[in-house]
Structure 1
Amino acid sequence: MKGVIFLLLTISLSHADPRGKPYQKAKVCHEFNILGKEKFSALAVIMNSRKYSNATFEEIDHLVKAIASLAETCCVEGVTELCYDNKASSLSEKSCDPKSPFPKHSGVASCCVHKGLERKLCLADLKQPPKEFPTYVEPSNEELCGSFKTNPHIFFYRFLYEYTSNYAHAPLQVVLNSTENYLNMIKECCTSKKPTPCFLNQRLQRHPLHLLTVMSNRLCSRYTIYGTEKLKFSAAIMFSQKVPSAEFKDVMPTVEQGTRLLAKCCGSLTDNCIEKELSGNIQQICKKLSKDARVAECCKKLPVDTLHCLHSMSAAESIVLPGLQLPSSSQLCKKGKNQELEKYMFELARRNTKLPEVFVDKLYESVAVVVKKCCGSENSNSCLEKKKSQLNEEMKMYISEGNELCGEYNKYPFSEFKQRIIKSLNKRVPKLTSSKVDEIAEQRADLASTCCIINAPPVYCKEKINKVIGNRCAQEPCLI
């Protein structure tokens, strides 16, 4: 099984690099003949659903059938040496057909202007960005068993497509374990004389494995989007708002250890790295932060449940802390590992625990641009002093606007929340037409419903915040 994982990574869309053809053909045929068509095709569904997570089931199905056909036709005794190469080349040609049934990708057209090797290598590199937040909803037990009994083959493949495309960021071995466990549950319970108690028992047993898939997908998604340094900042802000009593010096070691874990495990293909490494990081978090009663309660659970509990915790109420000043230019511009701006944002987040992390991240990015520009100027102190007053004013305005938006969203029913936005806009900007007011209110309501929540999707929310809250700077020079 582990060997075929590598093989499927190398033959997506069958655009293999000709320089490795002899090895790849031998590898493909060896694994196809060991696994058989069914298991080979199942793994092809998993790999390509992860690679093309926004493709339809029909597109993935066409692609998998093409890959399986390549192996089935050219991996038998007596075929010519050219069988494999010619069939792979024909699939490459098919990918460039505007009516191709394979997964759609905006980069296909630019790849298809090339010929031969360059085209194949270009097509092989294409990959859709994974979904930022899963949309898979599991059917009822009755629906599951109905679909399974109607056509087990299609049921298995469709489930593999749905599940793996939704958790494409989770480490491969975690997904393989979880999907195998789920399909075994379906086979056992849908053929049981007492399916209801069977499902209940099996779901209880599978809970840690599914939760590991959900959490590792969430964490690895953040790691992929943010990268190492940005993820450390994001995690530190999360802890500052959920445990505002914790100090920066206590939070950072746990954040750095967790980031190293993700760097090591998110791209792992053949082992249970994240499962093995997780408990050590959870132990450190609990050791450092369990003075907080809510953290202590989470830490009574099993490691993966503790992780889920910590990430699901709502933001705490802000605590009374001394006033906060933007660091001096000498602090912000000193060389080496400089965490002064991160410390400042951490402290700012402790004082504004209800301002979601995605809003704090946008603020941090904007301030970092100003700081970097001033620190690179001839007189950094003079530059920052000139900007400081405007920065403080704009930060205050941005935080106030974010707090008001998210505070009201979480306080009122959605319909009332939207009406309050409209009333506020009519009061603040009376010259706006009713249609423009409705348009802005719709934008703000949409922003709040997606981004004023725990674990909001960072890429989507960054674009939304820039568009909605950033609009206030359209007619004047703004730093943020």
Structure 2
Amino acid sequence: MKGVIFLLLTVSLSYAEHRGRAYQRDNICKEFNMLGKDKFSSLAVIMNSRKYSNATFEEIGHLVKDIVSLAETCCAKGAASDCYDKGASAMSVKSCDAKSPFPKHPGTESCCTAHKGLERKLCLADLKQPPKEFPTYVEPSNEELCEAFKKNPQVFASRFLYDYSSNYAQAPFLVTLNSTENYLKMITACCTAKRPSVCFLRQRLQRKLLHLLTVMSNRLCSRYSSYGEEKFKFSALIIFGQKVPSAEFKDIMPIVEQASQVLAKCCSSLTDDCMESELSVHMQQVCKKLSSKDSRVAGCCKKSHIDTLHCLHSLPAAEPIKLPKLQWPTNDQLCKKGNNQEHDKYSFELARRNTKLPEVFVDKLHGAALEVVKGCCSSEDSNACLDKKRPPLREEISKYLTEANELCGDYNKYPFTEFKERLSKVLSRRAPKLAPTKLDELVEQQASLASTCCITNAPPVYCKEKINKGMGSTCTQEPCLLQ
């Protein structure tokens, strides 16, 4: 496995090789000769599909073909000492061609115009596409799988590695590698078995936990990567608060801190069992803290640790419970120096009382309100500023919660056609002077927002943009959280 780890690092710099050219070439050749062309090629497909997760299969194929060809040519006996260096340079030039068949990336043009030689290679090697927020891989039927496999096993394997790796690009590399190897072994065994259906049933049961580990670690690491450490912790805090509103801030915060530590340690880890073992410990902590708070959590905790994680992740938000009236933090609490958790605590309490409002909407509210508070806390007279801003801010929060809850509540309650009809009436009542064409545009905008973001575990990056565009079109006063 150490060879695989080194390959991960070397292939990613296959056309940005530097820091001791002969040493780098020799090590790549060592790995190529040890693994063989087919294994080397498969790992190159996995790594580049993860790195360029929005690239087409054909684009990944062109890149891998050139990577493998470079290694095959320059690792052969008698190859010139500068073969690899020249080949890597040729690949960087090819990347900069307007008609390049390699994966497209917004930063490519910048690398190609601003840099030359080694710097260009390094710049190109650092490019990485953002992960997919919407998985596109749908597994074919057993019959379709076996038909494609028997037609061309090599093409089938490459296509599967591309599909699976690009869809789970944020899962730890070795988790993805283990899962893909396991899957292809299943295909080979079952598509040549006398009773394929029985074989597939048995094999899928055996690989269930490995696939779940891939799916769940990808979801968690994607959110961690998209949000960053602090915002991830806030997001997890809100989600837990909405699923287990009977739990208090002090119950949830240690769990959130631990989850962040696990992902910081394991998402980029090249250790075989980091994610699995650390998540197991984390689930024990979650179950210990929250099982007594909610019967649904207790039910999830009766499963194995990865099944427990998937079960908890899939839980819908709880029904609201009776809680004391929410108190607005004092000026001193809001402007307290150091590790001030009052902002997070207030949003957590809002979420506990608005359990059906998806976390992405709470995040938008939290960020907008925090900007207002920070502006006051950095002013000459923070108390006067906060006293002035508090009434309109509370009014805006109330308005935002009403509109967002109404949008998501109606979306989840009514058929889509009826939902749009109700939405049109609500928006025309809210803004009676809107022109018909503008109203229709606004209805479509908010309907699209609801269909994507009024769901559990909504995609954070995509929904942030959608909420910014879809909410607040009728907002007129300052401070305006909805814009």
Report if TM-score (shorter chain) is over 0.5: yes
The whole-number CA distance in structure 2 between the counterparts of 1:380 and 1:230 is 25
State the match for 2:345 in structure 1: 343
2:48 — aligned with what?
48
Structure-2 residue corresponding to 1:245: 246
- TM-score, normalised to structure 2, is 0.97
Q: Relative to 1, partners in 2 of residues 1:425 and 1:449: Cα closer, same or farther, differing over 3 Å?
A: same
Root-mean-square deviation (Å): 1.2
What amino acid is the match of 2:194? K
SS of structure 2 residue aligned to 1:470: coil
**Could you tell which deviates more after superposition, 58-67 or 374-383?**
374-383
- Corresponding residue for residue 400 of structure 1: 402
Which sections of structure 1, spanning at least 5 residues, go unmatched? none
Counterparts of 1:329 and 1:236 in 2: how far apart (Å)? 23
SS of equivalent to 1:33: helix
Q: Could you tell me how far 1:375 is from its partner in structure 2?
A: 1.3
Using the alignment, how far apart are the partners of 1:8 and 1:98 within structure 2? Answer: 28
- Rounded to whole Å, the distance in 1 between the matches of 2:442 and 2:259 is 39
Amino acid across the alignment from 1:464:
K
User: Which shows bigger deviation, 270-279 or 167-176?
Assistant: 270-279
The alignment status of 1:259 with 2:243, answered yes or no, reads no
Q: Counterpart in 1 of 2:135?
A: 134
Give the equivalent residue in structure 2 for 1:122: 123
After superposition, residues 93-172 of structure 1 pair within 5 angstroms as: 93-113=93-113, 114-172=115-173
Q: What amino acid is aligned across from residue 302 of structure 2 in structure 1?
A: K
Amino acid corresponding to residue 31 of structure 2 in structure 1: E
Q: Give, in angstroms, the shift of residue 64 of structure 1.
A: 0.4
Q: Which residue of 1 aligns with 2:462?
A: 460
Query: Post-superposition shift, 1:158?
Result: 0.4
Could you tell me how far 1:183 is from its partner in structure 2?
A: 0.4
Asked if 2 retains the 8 angstrom alpha-carbon contact of 1:370 and 1:479, the reply is: no
Deviations 1:44-78 (A, max 9, x none): 00000000000000000000010000110000111
The equivalences for 1:329-408 within 5 A come to 329-408=331-410
Partners of 1:167 and 1:214 within 8 A in 2: yes
SS in 2 for 1:472: coil
Between the aligned residues of both structures, percent identity stands at 70
Tell me what 1:471 maps to: 473
Structure 2 CA distance for aligned equivalents of residues 24 and 163 of structure 1: 29
Structure 1 residues 129-157: Cα deviation after superposition (integer angstroms, max 9, x where no partner): 11113121101111100100000000000
Q: Which of these residues, 316, 326, 329, is aligned with residue 327 of structure 1?
A: 329
Moved more, 383-392 or 418-427: 418-427
Task: Tell me how far apart the structure 2 counterparts of residues 418 and 408 of structure 1 sit (CA, whole Å).
Answer: 9
Query: Is the contact between residue 396 and residue 480 of structure 2 (CA under 8 Å) also seen in structure 1?
Result: yes
Distance between the aligned counterparts of 1:28 and 1:130, measured in 2?
Answer: 27
Aligned residue for 1:73, secondary structure, equals: helix
Mean CA deviation greater in 31-40 or 7-16: 7-16
* Aligned residue among 409, 412, 417 for 1:410: 412
Q: Does the 8 Å CA contact 1:8/1:47 hold for their aligned counterparts?
A: yes
Is contact 2:55–2:103 with CA below 8 Å preserved after alignment? Answer: yes
Listed one character per residue, the Cα deviations across residues 9-46 of structure 1 (whole Å, up to 9, x for unaligned) are: 34437322422322211111000000110000000000
Cα distance in 2 for partners of 1:390, 1:476 equals 8
Distance (Å, rounded) in 2 between the aligned partners of 1:445 and 1:290: 37
Q: Cα distance, 1:374 vs. partner?
A: 1.3
Matched letter for residue 290 of structure 2: L
Q: Give the Cα separation in 2 of the matches to 1:277 and 1:154.
A: 36
Tell me which amino acid in the other structure corresponds to 2:415: P
CA-CA distance at 1:304 after TM superposition = 0.6
CA deviation vs aligned residue, 1:451-476 (integer Å, no higher than 9, x gap): 01010000000100011103233x54
Q: Which residue is 1:19 aligned to?
A: 19
Query: Which residue matches 1:232?
Result: 233
* Residue of structure 1 aligned with 2:312, choices 307, 310, 327: 310
The AA in structure 2 aligned to 1:246 is A
Once the two structures are TM-superposed, the CA of residue 450 in structure 1 deviates from its matched residue by: 0.7
Counterpart Cα distance in 2 of 1:305 and 1:160: 24
Once the two structures are TM-superposed, the CA of residue 227 in structure 1 deviates from its matched residue by 1.3
What corresponds to 2:90 in structure 1? 90
Q: How many angstroms apart in 1 are the aligned matches of 2:456 and 2:405?
A: 14
CA distance in 1 between partners of 2:28 and 2:474 (Å): 57
3-state SS, counterpart of residue 93 of structure 2: helix
Deviations 1:162-207 (A, max 9, x none): 0000000101111011101100010011001100111111111111
Q: Is the 8 A contact 1:169 1:217 kept in 2?
A: yes
In the other structure, the counterpart of 1:174 is 175
Q: 2:61, 2:205 → 1: CA distance? A: 32
Q: Tell me which amino acid in the other structure corresponds to 2:231.
A: K
Q: SS at the partner of 2:20?
A: helix
Count of matched residue pairs? 479
Mapped to 2, the partners of 1:159 and 1:276 lie a distance apart of 27
Residues in 2 aligned to 1:60 and 1:2: alpha-carbon distance in whole angstroms: 25
Determine if contact 1:172/1:270 at 8 Å carries over to the other structure: no
Contact 1:246 1:289 in 2 (8 A): yes
Query: Using the alignment, how far apart are the partners of 2:18 and 2:287 within structure 1?
Result: 52
- Taking the aligned partners of 1:171 and 1:13, their CA distance within structure 2 comes to 19
8 Å Cα contact 2:17/2:88 also seen in 1: no
Q: Give the aligned residue type for 1:123.
A: L
Q: Return closer, same or farther for 1:20/1:269 CA change in 2, 3 Å cut-off.
A: farther
Q: Secondary structure at the match of 2:134?
A: coil
Deviation at 1:117, TM superposition (A): 1.2
Alpha-carbon distance in structure 2 between the residues aligned to 1:230 and 1:426? 36
> 1 CA distance for matches of 2:22 and 2:388?
65
Give the structure 2 partner of residue 62 of structure 1: 62
- Deviations 1:406-459 (CA, angstroms, capped at 9, x unpaired): 000110111111111112223333332332222111111111111010100000
User: Matches of 1:402 and 1:279 in 2, distance apart?
Assistant: 36
Deviation at 1:333, TM superposition (A): 1.2
Q: Residue 18 of structure 1 aligns to a residue in which SS?
A: coil
SS at match of 1:224: helix
- Cα-to-partner distance string for 1:66-119 (whole Å, 9 max, x where unaligned): 000011000011111011111111111111110111001111111112211111
TM-score computed with the length of structure 1 as normaliser? 0.98
Secondary structure, aligned partner of 1:127: coil
Q: 2: distance between equivalents of 1:398 and 1:223? A: 26
